[in-house]
Structure 1
Amino acid sequence: MKGVILAAGLGTRLYPITENKPKHMIPIGGKPLILHLLAALKSNGINELILVVRHGENFTRNLLEDGGKFGLKIEYSTQEVPTGTASAVESAEELIGEEEFLVVYGDLLLKEELIHRLLKSFEEHGEMVLAAVPVKDVSQYGLINSRGEKLMKVEEKPEGIGGEEGNLANAGLYVFKKKEIFKAIKRT
């Protein structure tokens, strides 16, 4: 299974920290955040990665190169205009191949166990899985609308919603079957 790391965002909520470097390059525990993410993915057997970066972003390429020094294989895809998760994933379509793939936001600090649980859930349920987290104010996140275990819709940063409508936010970690997700992306 390949991993797709979405790292093309503008980082506006962390400005001015992100004025000169992307969010995923901010140091946590003495090293860039993205290195923690790479280690968590590698420990779960995800050794082939595609990093979606924005046009002209060289910090990531200069640090990670082809991934060899980390025991990984890394390819890059460019999201010309950062217009959201679906277009970022779509920009990596040709590199993904025909297999299932994991998608993760590049600015997340995740425990290896969370990735393991998501992969196990995918093995059991098959089509698509995503991680969600309960929050008090969903207006800063993607609201997950579901019926039981079936995802109905993800509404990005809704205003005035919560409580009765739900409080599960998109946690930025997914596993997809290629064929199904790209059909859905092309419909949007």
Structure 2
Amino acid sequence: MKALVLSGGSGTRLRPFTHTTPKQLVPVANKPVLYYVLEDIARAGITDVGIVVGETADEIRKAVGNGERFGLRVTYLPQEAPLGLAHAVLIARDYLGDDDFVMYLGDNFVAGGIAGLVERFRHERPDVQIMLTRVSDPSCFGVAETAPGGRVISLQEKPAFPRSDMAVVGIYFFTPVVHKAVRAISPSARGELEITDALQWLLDGPYDVRSTTIAGYWKDTGNPADMLEMNRLVLDGMEQGTEGEADASSELVGRVRIEAGARILNSRIVGPAVIGPGTLVENSYVGPYTSIAENCRIVDSEIEFSIVLGDSRLTGTGRVQRSLIGRNVTVTPAPRVPACVRLILGDDSRVEFT
């Protein structure tokens, strides 16, 4: 069994971060989202991985290499444009051959991983196995309409009027029959080959398309709010440890990880939180669910429930919350200016100032 990891999307919902960094490489708990995907695939016992790449191919290649660090053999599959998930399967045909495979979106995260699902697919081997989960706004996802007992009746891609609240999770298990489906469909109104159309083609034919509803945590980390939620979940499972330095006037509360070379001076860190290597936190408060990456400076400031990427500085700030701060960013108080009011008043006016 192989894996097909999709890492060619442009990440428009995460701009401005994705102007300079592929969305799959934006760190969560100081580790790129794509690394969690590759580690999950390796834990499931899959070793051959094809990564579909687009305009950010060079950055993905640099970050992942040949996959050896994950125990994988990685092959890169260029896609000329993000023309849909089914298009990614189409261009990967030669690489996939006649093997079964799992298609895993490179910005998705599933708590507990896919190892059990892989084992189930290998044992039962339907033509297709998809994963579903209930969401509050299904119009943002592929949506499945199911019959009692969980049988899939129909699928829609980002419908304006969803027929259910069951979203299709970005992890799919396929046998080679899917190659017939992606060749049979036409581009949608969005100009893409939709995987939901390919799945519907299989549903309309004599094929065994099964679904599993997952009750655990799943995130498509395509926007800042979801990135922060994934950061929270990962930090909840993090082990504490202090490889860096915390002076006697500092307080570390709960699960706090201080990476090598980091220094905590006269500060309070309340976990779960991680402070990256080479970072200085001085006269500051770092609250729960905060990840601060490498070589940052947090001085005379307060921050919680946030992600700070490498080489950034917060100096003299008030409480910063629910924030995603990019690389090499400087955050400081605005200069104070004299307060004034400009008035243009007609005859017989009356104005009162507090």
- Asked if Structure 1 and Structure 2 have the same fold, meaning a TM-score greater than 0.5 normalized by the shorter chain, the answer is yes
Partner amino acid, structure 2, of 1:156: E
In structure 2, the partner of 1:160 is: 161
Q: Distance in 2 between matches of 1:150 and 1:184?
A: 19
List aligned pairs for 1:11-90, cutoff 5 A: 11-55=11-55, 57-90=57-90
| 145-154 vs 46-55, greater mean Cα deviation | 145-154
- Answer yes or no: is the 8 Å Cα contact 1:121–1:129 preserved in 2: no
Question: Are the equivalent residues in 2 in contact too, given 1:8–1:88 (CA < 8 A)?
Answer: no
Contact 1:105–1:172 at 8 Å: present in 2 too? yes
Match for residue 151 of structure 1? Answer: 152
Whichever of the two has the greater Rg, that structure is 2
Secondary structure (helix, strand or coil) at the match of 1:18 reads helix
Measured after TM superposition, the shift of residue 37 of structure 1 is 1.1
Task: Calculate percent identity across the aligned residue pairs.
Answer: 31
1:50·1:95 contact (CA, 8 Å) conserved in 2?
yes
Deviations 1:98-148 (A, max 9, x none): 11000010001223x341232233222521101111112111111113344
When the two structures are superposed, what TM-score results if normalisation uses the length of structure 2? Answer: 0.49
What residue in structure 1 maps to residue 171 of structure 2?
173
C-alpha distance 6-153 of structure 1, shift in aligned 2 (>3 A): farther
Cα separation, 1, equivalents of 2:84 and 2:76: 17
Following superposition, the deviation at residue 96 of structure 1 comes to 0.9
Name 2:95's counterpart in structure 1: 95
Aligned twin of 2:117: 118
**Distance in 2 separating the partners of 1:4 and 1:98:** 13
Q: Deviations over 1:14-48 (max 9, x none)?
A: 11121111111001111111111111110110111
Q: What's the Cα RMSD here?
A: 1.6
Structure 1 residue runs without a partner (length 5+):
none
* 1:5 to partner: Cα distance: 0.3
- Report if aligned partners of 1:141, 1:157 keep a CA contact under 8 Å in 2: yes
Higher helix proportion: 1
Any idea what SS the aligned residue of 2:136 has?
coil
TM-score relative to the length of structure 1: 0.90
Structure 1 Cα separation of the partners of residues 157 and 50 of structure 2 = 24
Distance in structure 1 (CA, Å) of the matches to 2:28 and 2:81: 27
